[in-house]
Structure 1
Amino acid sequence: MNTNANTHTLSPELEALARKRVNARIGFFTHACVYAVVVTGLNLLAFSQGKVWSLWPTAGWGFGLLMHGLGVFGLGPGSALRERLLQRERERLSGH
């Protein structure tokens, strides 16, 4: 007996895409949490010494985190935006 009444049967391709998207999102959120913890520690250490050196790794890593987020939520493989743009291009090319 299925205990989850909301389970939908998907084609293997859609199931693989769903899993890929979920794993990408989990990876991003893990990255963001590690960033927050490490950057907080670096800033506490630097500012307690009256220094501001921690702003450089904070900014650099923050840019990397931003790019990771854009890849996951914006333009990465299987992203919703990419799929919409791809669908529009298919429709344009097919004359619809």
Structure 2
Amino acid sequence: METSRETKYAEAKEKVEKIRGFYNHLIIYLIFVGVFIFINYRSGAYFWAIFPIAGWGLGVLGHAAGTFDLVPFFGREWEKNKIKEFMEEDRNLF
């Protein structure tokens, strides 16, 4: 069985990996926003770049919400409570 310290370390490491993944996603998004705008400007067409920028932006917002627990439901506390609930059910079966 893992100790409390090992568990906290594993949770902290997982959180750091999630944050790093989000920032990588954000940086790539910002680079491509610039690319889309540049291509759109050079093509002289209507502002079509707004569609991929907005769509991908929603994905980035969703990633941020999941990374930083911004959604009040299905967050880290909900997850912990569900895990405890299922562990109790398993314990009661035996």
TM exceeds 0.5? yes
1:70 partnered with 2:46: no
Give structure 1 regions of 4+ aligned residues with deviation exceeding 6 angstroms: none
CA shift, 1:38, in A, is 1.0
Gaps of 5+ in 2: 82-94
SS at match of 1:74: coil
> Counterpart of 2:10?
16
Q: Percent of aligned positions with the same letter in both sequences?
A: 32
Task: Give me the whole-angstrom Cα distance separating, in 1, the residues matched to 2:68 and 2:17.
Answer: 12
Alignment correspondent of 1:59: 54
Number of aligned positions between the proteins: 73
TM-score by length of 1: 0.67
Alignment of 1:72-87 (within 5 A): 72-75=67-70, 82-83=76-77
Matches of 2:17 and 2:57 in 1, distance apart? 21
CA drift of 1:75 comes to 4.7
Q: Deviations over 1:21-77 (max 9, x none)?
A: 00000000000000000111111111222221111000000000000000000258x
CA distance in 1, matches of 2:37, 2:28: 14
TM-score, normalised via structure 2 length: 0.68
The CA distance in 1 between the partners of 2:70 and 2:13, in whole Å, is 17
Contact 1:35-1:61 at 8 Å conserved across structures: yes
After TM superposition, the structure 1 = structure 2 runs for residues 22-33 of structure 1, keeping only pairs within 5 Å, are 22-33=16-27
- Pairwise CA RMSD: 2.2
Q: Is the 8 A contact 2:64 2:70 kept in 1?
A: no
Mapped contact 1:74–1:82 kept (Cα < 8 A): yes
Q: Does 1:40 align with 2:34?
A: yes
